[in-house]
Amino acid sequence: MSEKRILNRRQVIKAGLLGAGGLAFAGCRTAMPPTYGNILRMGDNFTYALHRGLFSEKGLAPEYSRSEITSFPATGAANPADRGKREFSEEYAKLHSGQFKDYRLQIDGLVENRRNFSLEELRQMAQKTQITRHICEEGWSAIAEWTGVQLRTVLETCKVHPEARYVRVDTFDDSSDSYDMVDALHPQTILATGMNGGELPVAHGAPLRLRVERQIGYKSLKFVSKITVLKEFDDCGSKGAIQTGWAWYVGM
């Protein structure tokens, strides 16, 4: 291995250690997610510690006006009801053919009330509308208006146990991810049922799509089926970002 590579590695390790140190002042609601000794991912801990240690937990992502809304490409999984697609889900196809009347969002894990919510129930809870910029790791960005219930409202309804540290979100197309409680309870973290004043289109994640506005686009999971409140960090295995080489935390 060349001198230069070794130096780079050392720098990355240093960043990781600095990151760990940063958490000492990051407050009690955060815990360092493990990086499995993955050298490249150690820098993520640095980013995470920096954001959680130095930036306000309540800082808001910028919001825009209606006139700034742009066209919005649909990427990744686009229709889990389509038998021909990689993301096909029998369960989703059934719900889709019934206009999602039988859809239920499941809330599981460390809550007093493990509950299911129909779309109607979610729409009857306090609604939030926000116009934000979605930034994809592939290099494009787009602005849209999202309407839905704050995740914190749903979690409060279910009474989260005090030792909760993370939430895991599962989807019908078998991608999953997890988030710390700071992002889960953030006022702009919503479960959207509407987009640009209309119903959320299938291509953009109907019937329910997570919006986590202070992180990169792939954290805003489409086709949400279940939310689990956890004490321990969960990388979501092969369905999650870390094991496929992506960062778990990408704050902006």
Instruction: Kindly list the residues in this chain that would bind Mo ion in the complex (CB under 5 A).
Output: 136, 217-218
Answer whether 176's CB lies under 8 Å from 230's CB.
Answer: no
Residue among 135 and 155 whose Cβ is closer to ligand MTE: 135
C-alpha triplet 28, 33, 35: angle, nearest 5°? 155
| Phi/psi at 75 (5° precision) | -130, 170
92 binds ligand MTE (CB under 6 A): no
175 binds ligand MTE (CB under 6 A): yes
Q: How far apart are CA 218 and CA 139, in angstroms?
A: 12
Burial profile 30-49: b = 16 or more Cβ within 10 angstroms, e = fewer: bbbbebeeeeebbbbbbbbb
Q: Which two tokens stand for residue 53?
A: 């240690």
222 binds ligand MTE (CB under 6 A): yes
Q: What number of chain residues touch ligand MTE (CB under 6 A)?
A: 17
41 binds, among Mo ion, ligand MTE, none (CB under 5 to 8 A by kind): none
48 binds ligand MTE (CB under 6 A): no
CA atoms in the 13 A half-sphere facing the CB of 231: 5
**What's the min distance (Å) between Cβ of 249 and Mo ion?**
15
221 binds ligand MTE (CB under 6 A): yes
225 binds, among ligand MTE, Mo ion, none (CB under 5 to 8 A by kind): none
220 binds ligand MTE (CB under 6 A): yes
Interface residues toward ligand MTE, by CB under 6 A: 72-77, 136, 171, 173, 175, 204, 217-218, 220-223
